[in-house]
Amino acid sequence: MENKPTSVWTSNRFWRRSATWITGVAAVLLILLTFDSMGQMKMGTAEDIQNKVTKRIPSPVVINYKIDYVLDPYRGHEVPIIGGKAVDSATGKVSSKFEEKEKFFGRDDWSEEEARALIHKGKLTIQAKNCMDCHTLLGNGAYYAPDLTKAWLDPAWGSEGPLQAMTGANSKEEAMATFLQNPDKYPTHERMMPNLGITPEEAKAVVAYLKFMSAIDTNGFPRNFGKIKGAVDARK
């Protein structure tokens, strides 16, 4: 049935073969890149933190440390800094010192198992309550409520922020946990968060997840976050 093609460019056979080859090559490349990405995206361990090894996705024990988000002139964008910042004088490259601790619900000695259990529960809760259908996480999700990617570092929840004052709590984590359990009692905005029946344990776990997430290296997203007055490493 097939007519004799006048040139290769109108030959179905040529295009069928091209389509197959191009698809195959693209798929193989994607698979190879995925192997490499998965290696780089593996969650770090407590041992990495002891050895001061920076991982894109750090160990959950980062909840024991102070977390910053600062401009790295070497990479040209903000990077998460865990436990204090070290600067290489030659290149200007910044790195984490993994030294400066910060209490999380009164403790800075959460073991790897405890921290893992917390973020496990936190992520399950984030999914069970459909958080991503209002909020964005890592920039994905809905846009009806603020981005949670670096929520832990947001000045609104800091010691001088309006949201911490509103809940009457003494620390960021307690303020967040109090809010999450009864969001409709604390009108942050005309657009309020509904009451999702979050228990005290779930709230604590979600806050742990937010702190852990703020330490994920997102290649500088969101941009300029660290430069804003009142935020981490602000220009004073």
Partner 1 sequence: MQGNRLYEGQKLALKYFTVAIVLFGAQLLFGLIAAIQYLYPSFLFNTLDFSIARMVHINALVVWLLYAMIGAVYWLLPDEAGVEVVGVKLGTLAFYVLTVAVAIVVLVYIFIQVGPGNEMTLWFITEGREYIEAPRWADIGIVAVVLVFLYNVYATVLKGKHSGILVVLMADLIALAGLYLAGMFYTDNIAVDQYWWWWVVHLWVEATWEVYVAAVGGYILIKTLNANRQVVEMWLWIEVAMMFGSGILGLGHHYFWIGTPEYWWEIGALFSALEPVPLVGLFVHVLYDWGKERGKGNNIKNVPAFAWLTVETFGNFLGAGVWGFMHTLPQINLYTHGTQWPAAHGHLAFFGAYVAIMISAIYLGVQGKAGFKEMKMTKAGWWAISLITVGVLLMTVSLTLSAYVQTMVERGMHGATWEGYFIAQANQWFVQGMGWRLAAGLSVIAGYAFLVYDLLTVTKKQPAEVMEGEAAAQAA
CB 36, min distance to partner 1, A: 7
Please give the structure tokens belonging to residue 14.
């040529």
CB 180 within 8 A of CB 199: no
Residue 18 phi/psi, 5-degree rounding, is -60, -45
CB of 135 to partner 1, least distance (A): 9
Q: Which CB sits closer to partner 1, 37 or 170? A: 37
- Least CB distance from residue 108 to partner 1, whole Å? 21
- Measured from the CB of residue 206, what is the shortest distance to partner 1 in angstroms? 8
Closer CB to partner 1, residue 99 or residue 200?
A: 200
Contact 203, 180 (CB under 8 A): yes
- Report DSSP letters for 74-93, one per residue: TTTEEEEEESSEEE-TTT--
Q: Which is nearer to partner 1, 29 or 99 (CB)?
A: 29
Q: Which is nearer to partner 1, 29 or 165 (CB)?
A: 29
Residues 6+ apart with CB under 8 A from 59: 43, 44, 45, 46, 48, 49, 112, 115
Whichever of 41 and 165 has its CB closer to partner 1, that residue is 41
How far apart are CB 226 and partner 1 at their closest, in Å? 8
Gap between the terminal Cα atoms of the chain: 77
